[in-house]
Chain A
Amino acid sequence: MAALLEIRDISKAFGGIQALDGVDVAIDAPGIYGLIGPNGAGKTTLFDVVCGRQVADRGEVRAEGRAVGRLSPDRLARLGFARTFQECRVFPDETCLDNVLFGAQDKRLGVEWRQLLTRGMGARSARRDEAMRLLTLVRLDTYADRPAAALSYGQRRLLEIVSTLIARPRFLLLDEPASGINPTLLNVLHDFLLKMYEERPIVFLVVEHNMPFIMSLASHIVVMHQGRVLTTGSPADIQRDPAVIDAYLG
């Protein structure tokens, strides 16, 4: 049977910089996968390629056997890929609730037109309770009616994550979800992600520099270094691997 997500021999250069240099990752089963590596290792670039923001120079990405490496970000989103951004992106003018509900909305033009002409509910309105439940889990419920621009950086990160989860993705890619989040909220986020995984076991791929956070969250770790996959293994194995300690953990 085809792997859930197969990243095969992906390379990507920016000018003279080889950001990705033949990356291979195969994910056969749902799970929480950690992606770690030093700054500039190519983790974000790999997310950009998988989610269609960048086109790889070489190699291919397959989701359940289907080649998806040339698809646009919106096509991939509709195929079940959801991501957050390292720089954290939310819609600043919209309220927190509207940000989340937009995640649930069916954005195909035809569906939107039907909603417009029939003044129907749309997928979005039907998910209001679910949106409030998720906001409550990350303690943003009291901010539901505030514009996202009024949130702190850490709160914006949580909002961004909730807005991706409401779409019920099959592949969730989180780029440094814990960065900028205070220690108390860090525990909230940790428990939230575990709970979300238990409710809907899918592929979580999580880039993180916070080692205690990712090592306790993930069941598998992929280590990248200079545009390549250095090694993969369980958190315990990785923390003992001399090559990883040398390249990254120090």
Chain B
Amino acid sequence: MTAMTALTAMTAPRAGRLAIAIVALLALAAPFLLADQPYFLHVLILTMTFAIPAIGLNLLLGYTGLVSLGHMGFAGVGAYTTALLMMDHGWSAVPAMAAGAAAAGVLGVLVGIPCLRLRSHFFIIVTLAVGMILFALFNNLDGITGGAEGLPGVPRPGPLDLGFMVIDFRRLGGFYWFALVVTLFALLVQYLIVRSDFGRSLAAIRQDEILAAARGVNVFAHKLAIFGISTALAGLGGALKVMFLRVAAPLSFELLESINLVLLTIVGGAGYLAGPIIGALVYVAIPEILRFADAWRLVLFGVILVAMTLFAPRGLSGMIEAGWRRLRRGPAVTGEEAADGRPA
């Protein structure tokens, strides 16, 4: 896994840790810094609702080498499950979100059992079909999902009394922190998996399935496990999204959104811990802040994507990593020199 994650490059040197600490502090303090800029806070939260499913997809795409073109469908399962549990059954936010994530994960496992043994391009088509079917269900099961109108009135979490202060999640600043905690949780899951023996087996599957099996990896079981985790994370992101928008609507979980999720994961840098965050920022935050019309966003994104495949095949995280190395070691550092220059 060396040289595979932006964080790897950054955790060794002290300057890198400092950079992460500064970003974390800024992220935490955003509601104060942006107190009179509610629109920016709104965009940051929206970014997080994309980043979380992207983290799930990154575990598949970047680390295991599996493509899912229906991931926002699973996000929808988490979203509607959470919304219905809160609205019809009075569940509170955190257990409802956990149940939503679990429902998406269980569905992922059920889809994976018959389909993960298929060869990779058939699996991609199956995920596409599942995404389409799920959208059709959200859109047409009027009695349960409210059809095209969706389910308005999804509640926000109740206030949290910390003793010295009370966080009201119905306000933008409060909900921002809630979203941040959920995002950090997803990042933690990603980090723990990538850095574990389990993550190493996934990386082995990505690089050479036949060799991985010969070395003792149960390829199917590992794929099934990570697909379940990945779809559960998608469900978590979907749940956060409907809680934020206060409505569960099918258009958030249509096929186009699934494809955008794949694109933003690639643009951010598949196989990098920070890739989903960077991708979501580029995909959501920059166009929102520049106030692009929706159509132009896709044009801009398409151009970035083409440029990226030509000049930066490892995504923005890969570019940042390469730039960081160059900064630290002077120009034209090759992989070999980098290995030599590593402190013992």
Instruction: Name A's B-contacting residues (CB within 8 A).
Output: 51, 53, 72-74, 77-78, 82-83, 85, 89-95, 98, 102-103, 105-109, 111-113, 115-116, 119, 122, 124, 145-147, 150, 163, 167
Given contacts A73-B214, A74-B219, A109-B221, contact A116 B208 (CB under 8 A): no
User: Please, which residues of chain B bring their CB within 8 A of the CB of A91?
Assistant: 203-204, 207-208, 211
Instruction: Sort A-B residue pairs by CB-CB distance and give the 10 closest, nearest first.
Output: A77-B216, A116-B196, A112-B198, A89-B211, A73-B213, A107-B216, A112-B197, A91-B207, A107-B217, A115-B197
Verify A77–B215 contact, CB threshold 8 A: yes
Task: Give the contact stretch, choosing among B72-80, B169-177, B301-309, B334-342.
Answer: B334-342
Please tell me if B193 contacts chain A, counting CB pairs below 8 Å: yes
Verify A109–B208 contact, CB threshold 8 A: no
**Assembled-state Cα–Cα distance A91/B210 (Å):** 11
1/0 per position for B196-234, CB-CB distance to A under 8 A? 111011011001101101111111011001000000000
1/0 per position for B1-23, CB-CB distance to A under 8 A? 11110000000000000000000
Smallest Cβ distance from A113 to chain B, in angstroms? 7
Beyond the given A107-B201, A107-B215, please list 10 additional residue pairs across the A-B interface where CB-CB is below 8 A.
Answer: A74-B217, A77-B215, A82-B214, A93-B1, A93-B203, A95-B2, A102-B204, A112-B196, A112-B201, A167-B216
Closest chain B residue to A117 by CB distance? B192
What are 22 pairs between A and B in contact, CB < 8 Å?
A: A73-B210, A73-B213, A73-B214, A77-B213, A77-B215, A78-B216, A83-B214, A89-B208, A89-B210, A89-B211, A91-B203, A93-B4, A95-B2, A98-B2, A105-B197, A107-B215, A107-B218, A115-B197, A116-B196, A119-B192, A122-B197, A146-B339
Tally of contact residues, B, Cβ under 8 A: 31
Could you say which of A72, A92, A98 contacts B213, with CB atoms under 8 Å apart? A72
Closest chain B residue to A77 by CB distance? B216
Could you say which of A90, A109, A111, A112 contacts B211, with CB atoms under 8 Å apart? A90
Instruction: Name B's A-contacting residues (CB within 8 A).
Output: 1-4, 192-193, 196-198, 200-201, 203-204, 207-208, 210-211, 213-219, 221-222, 225, 335-336, 339, 342
**Assembled-state Cα–Cα distance A116/B188 (Å):** 12
Smallest Cβ distance from B145 to chain A, in angstroms? 34
User: Please, which residues of chain A bring their CB within 8 A of the CB of B342?
Assistant: 145
Closest chain A residue to B208 by CB distance? A89
Smallest Cβ distance from A181 to chain B, in angstroms? 20
Given contacts A94-B1, A94-B2, A107-B201, contact A116 B193 (CB under 8 A): yes
Closest chain B residue to A145 by CB distance? B339
**Assembled-state Cα–Cα distance A53/B335 (Å):** 35
Verify B200–A74 contact, CB threshold 8 A: no
Verify A113–B198 contact, CB threshold 8 A: yes
User: Please, which residues of chain A bring their CB within 8 A of the CB of B193?
Assistant: 116
Verify A109–B216 contact, CB threshold 8 A: no
**Assembled-state Cα–Cα distance A116/B222 (Å):** 14
Closest chain A residue to B199 by CB distance? A116
Verify A74–B213 contact, CB threshold 8 A: yes
**Assembled-state Cα–Cα distance A111/B201 (Å):** 12
Smallest Cβ distance from A38 to chain B, in angstroms? 25
Could you say which of A109, A147, A163 contacts B222, with CB atoms under 8 Å apart? A109
